[in-house]
Structure 1
Amino acid sequence: MFGLDVGVISGAQQFLQKDFGVSDDTLGWIVSTMMMGAAVGAVVAGWLSSQLGRKRTLILGAVLFVAGSVLCGCAWTTEVLIVGRVVLGLAIGIASFTAPLYLAEIAPESIRGAMISLYQLMITIGILLAFLSDTAFSYSGNWRWMLGVIAIPGALFLFGVAFLPESPRWLMMKSRHAEAEQVLQKLVGNRDAVAREIGEIREQLKTPQRGWHMFLQNRNFRRSVWLGVLLQVMQQLTGMNVVMYYAPRIFQDMGYATAAQMWFTAVVGLVNVLATFIAIGLVDKLGRKPILYIGFVVMTIGLGVVGTMMHLGIHDHGQQIFTVAMLLVFIVGFAMSAGPLIWALCAEIQPLKGRDFGIGCSTFTNWVANSLVGYSFLPLLNGIGQAETFWLYAAFNAVFILFTFWLVPETKGVTLEQIERKLMAGLPLRQIGQ
């Protein structure tokens, strides 16, 4: 659902823009307001998941997914469409906080890492499915079905979540120990393993979250929070979500007709999915920093060449294909590096007592930066030009190579406790890992 709602707007833009007669500025608002809603959703999700429980919070997110999709599909004015996008944003913000938290608490230790990696993969698959759905509806130009059909998987999500068990960790937090034991018995099956898990949860709960107090009092914790914020800003300024939200417009500027724009957009989604497997396969072998270096270099080259081709002019089919290929090179660079690894690093660098606060700050930053990038792309295109806009994002990626060297620690093979000790001892950020 997260991926579907992020991806679906790209194919609908040109058709709803024609129907409503909206300007590029208004279109930017339609695109970006969902991310504003997601920022709010991410902020309130921590309180909701603590008070209502992980399962009920996911049910609320599913209800909002369905309601927002129906509202967008039935929108009779741009204002109603924007409200529907905000509702979808709230759903995404709630899901983006609660789903990984629930997975981490419900999955057996032996498959916990794979489950969270699969969550990231499913986002990219959702984006691909949205692009394919948009392509199918583009032949009729029916943007209402493009946006409204997402209510069907939303209803399936709501139905599925209703049968999930509650998080045993949350049940223990609420002193519902017998229910927690019953859930763990279903999940694990082995009585000894259940007893061990309950003991570990009890030990964890002895460490209360004191994030805001730590942020005010502890300089070293503030460093990890600000690094998490910076990492999320870096991820958004790579330009990836610009391509996700405006791919058909970009292909239009390369000289492609509507049908080709939509199919190439679907190819972007497919490459995004496949390249994510590179990160999953290499992150624990090469390490975080080498993969980030490779990714930022690849993204700099990809966007730099795309900008240069647009500056020189794309005059024949061979030049069109080459420009598309370089855009796909950029997609590979992001999906194998900054896409999944930034999220992993933001969780790894935060000390235990402030982890919820630190991750909450970085998640909120992600959505605010996402919204600003989504809104500013069309004004940049119309203001400084196509080539210059792509060169700007290429320059950001080049600068991020230096930021990675100066500030980012290598956390491969290092326990969270070791990272915390080095952080709190005042070591430079890039030295708190290996």
Structure 2
Amino acid sequence: MSSINNSMVLPQARKNKVRRMNLFISFSAGLAGLLFGLDIGVISGALPFITQHFTLDSHEQEWVVSSMMLGAAIGAICNGWVSHRLGRKYSLMAGALLFIVGSLGSALAVNLEVLLAFRVLLGVAVGIASYTAPLYLSEMATENIRGKMISTYQLMITFGILLAFLSDTAFSYSGNWRAMLGILALPAVLLFVMVIFLPNSPRWLAAKGLHVEAEEVLRMLRDTSDKARQELNEIRESLKMKQGGLSLFRKNSNVRRAVFLGMLLQGMQQFTGMNIIMYYAPQIFKMAGFQSTQQQMMATVVVGVTFMLATFIAVFTVDKAGRKPILKIGFSVMAFATLILGYCLMKVGQGEATMNLSWVAVGMTMLCIAGYAMSAAPVVWILCSEIQPLKCRDFGITCSTTTNWVANMIIGATFLTLLGSIGAAGTFWLYTGFNLVFIVITFLLVPETKNITLEHIEKNLMAGKKLRDLGQ
């Protein structure tokens, strides 16, 4: 009787230990998302005060925002090599260190040039984090919780944005933009400390020939030793393909399809127009009729709450409803919201601003954010981490993440220019058109990958199946 009880207790104890380890990994890697979100959110609140302090014109404001994206693109390009050589764990540690230096340097900047330099360095840190964290999580998770774990990373981004908006609002009364930027160093220190205790990715370890170490990590993360052994065998099988990176990209058309799809997905995510709302939220609310800085900042806090709450939809549905249906719904919601928001801003521009119209504009902004947070924000990162074959994963995700930040930089560097040339309404209607196109692309090209192992997706890709059929 005693032995029977022990046999029942031990597996349950193992499951609890595995669950705790997965939660620790998800939270620790998610802190990289928190830093990402903090930087996205903090600049929208700090920008008006930085503009006033350094007397910036519209183009200089665009560079303050977009310089971070330039650095992020550089970070994503470099991190493909760093992540391959040093592993996901040490890449995250390097990103945390750079984030500490970049945030403190930005806070202490004595002129625009110094600020831009440290914003670029901060961007390198964000680029490393945005590349490594989803990749690491996808390689640590089982297929049935992979979407949830990567969605949790996106949830941490939205939580970071909310914290940044709250911090900005608190400091807005004194106009202390240096404190807004410098406080970001604190969570970066926490990330660095927590990553020390993370295990290396078993897929990276196996790729380096460290199969014993890879199996040890898998035993920590899987319910049974048999599952760990089976997964390691699948990883070994996928590693038999000899070429890697750029060489494999050149030689194999199927790999090129996966890389180009990843780049397309990241471009789609950015050209929804969502990030312009995050970067320039106070200006948007000013156009909608909210005149005081405090009114604008409180409105952005509401935006941050909406973003975070809507992300929970993705966390709890992406592994059940699937990736593709969520994307279709999200792009449709964003197309509708940007269409109506453009109309509201047109009326404001014609001098017909009313309080009701202002609140409709806020409502459409929140709806757009909700549509993005539940769909393109997490799902694109999930798909990009799933569709790349193992021997080309570092190269493929380097390409897609770099595309994300280049597109992000283009949007950040052109938004105010677009406002001046085609107006606020025309700018948002342009993004309405993009979202409608993205619905069609989702139907035609995007695969459904829920509950499918990375190795099976890779097998379908290499067999030449259509992109939309990779999850079958």
Question: What's the TM-score once normalised by structure 2's chain length?
Answer: 0.84
In the alignment, is residue 254 of structure 1 matched against residue 283 of structure 2? Answer: no
Whole-angstrom CA distance in 2 between matches of 1:420 and 1:72: 42
Aligned AA (2:180): M
Whole-angstrom CA distance in 2 between matches of 1:374 and 1:179: 43
CA contact (8 A) 2:155 2:311 kept: yes
In the alignment, is residue 322 of structure 1 matched against residue 360 of structure 2? Answer: yes
User: How many Å apart are 1:297 and its aligned residue?
Assistant: 1.5
User: How many Å apart are 1:353 and its aligned residue?
Assistant: 3.7
User: How many Å apart are 1:329 and its aligned residue?
Assistant: 0.9
Aligned AA (1:309): C
Equivalent residue in structure 2 for 1:92, among 126, 133, 153: 126
Whole-angstrom CA distance in 2 between matches of 1:185 and 1:428: 34
Aligned AA (2:272): T
Residues 338-395 of structure 1, C-alpha deviation per residue, up to 9 Å, x if partnerless? Answer: 1111222223333444333222211110111011111110111112111111111111
Deviates more, 1:40-49 or 1:52-61: 52-61
Write the mapping of 1:264-283 to structure 2, written as runs, cut at 5 A. Answer: 264-283=299-318
User: How many Å apart are 1:24 and its aligned residue?
Assistant: 0.9
Structure 1 residue matching 2:338: 3-state secondary structure: helix
Whole-angstrom CA distance in 1 between matches of 2:200 and 2:258: 31
In the alignment, is residue 155 of structure 1 matched against residue 193 of structure 2? Answer: no
Gaps of 5+ in 2: 1-34
1:404–1:141 CA distance, 2 compared to 1 (3 A): same
Which residue matches 2:170? 136
Aligned AA (1:366): N
Question: How many percent of aligned residue pairs carry the same amino acid?
Answer: 57
Deviates more, 1:283-292 or 1:269-278: 283-292
User: How many Å apart are 1:190 and its aligned residue?
Assistant: 6.8
CA contact (8 A) 1:209 1:355 kept: no
Deviates more, 1:421-430 or 1:307-316: 421-430
1:247–1:52 CA distance, 2 compared to 1 (3 A): same
1:169–1:158 CA distance, 2 compared to 1 (3 A): same
User: How many Å apart are 1:258 and its aligned residue?
Assistant: 0.8
Whole-angstrom CA distance in 2 between matches of 1:299 and 1:119: 22
Aligned AA (1:91): A
In the alignment, is residue 342 of structure 1 matched against residue 406 of structure 2? Answer: no
Whole-angstrom CA distance in 1 between matches of 2:452 and 2:192: 38
User: How many Å apart are 1:301 and its aligned residue?
Assistant: 1.0
Aligned AA (1:12): A
Aligned AA (1:218): N
CA contact (8 A) 1:349 1:420 kept: yes
CA contact (8 A) 1:237 1:393 kept: yes
Deviates more, 1:395-404 or 1:63-72: 395-404
User: How many Å apart are 1:223 and its aligned residue?
Assistant: 2.5
Aligned AA (1:9): I
Residues 297-339 of structure 1, C-alpha deviation per residue, up to 9 Å, x if partnerless? Answer: 1111111111111112352222211111011111111111111
Residues 387-419 of structure 1, C-alpha deviation per residue, up to 9 Å, x if partnerless? Answer: 111111111112222222233233345555554
Whole-angstrom CA distance in 2 between matches of 1:102 and 1:295: 26
Aligned AA (2:285): F
Whole-angstrom CA distance in 2 between matches of 1:216 and 1:106: 28
Gaps of 5+ in 1: none
Equivalent residue in structure 2 for 1:359, among 397, 420, 423: 397
Equivalent residue in structure 1 for 2:333, among 269, 276, 298: 298
Which residue matches 1:46? 80
Aligned AA (2:332): V
1:414–1:327 CA distance, 2 compared to 1 (3 A): same
Residues 172-230 of structure 1, C-alpha deviation per residue, up to 9 Å, x if partnerless? Answer: 54455666566566666976666566555544544455232232233333223222211
Write the mapping of 1:25-40 to structure 2, written as runs, cut at 5 A. Answer: 25-40=59-74
Aligned AA (1:57): S
How many residue pairs match? The answer is 434
Whole-angstrom CA distance in 2 between matches of 1:178 and 1:212: 28
Deviates more, 1:189-198 or 1:24-33: 189-198
Aligned AA (2:419): L
Whole-angstrom CA distance in 2 between matches of 1:339 and 1:355: 20
Whole-angstrom CA distance in 1 between matches of 2:462 and 2:440: 24
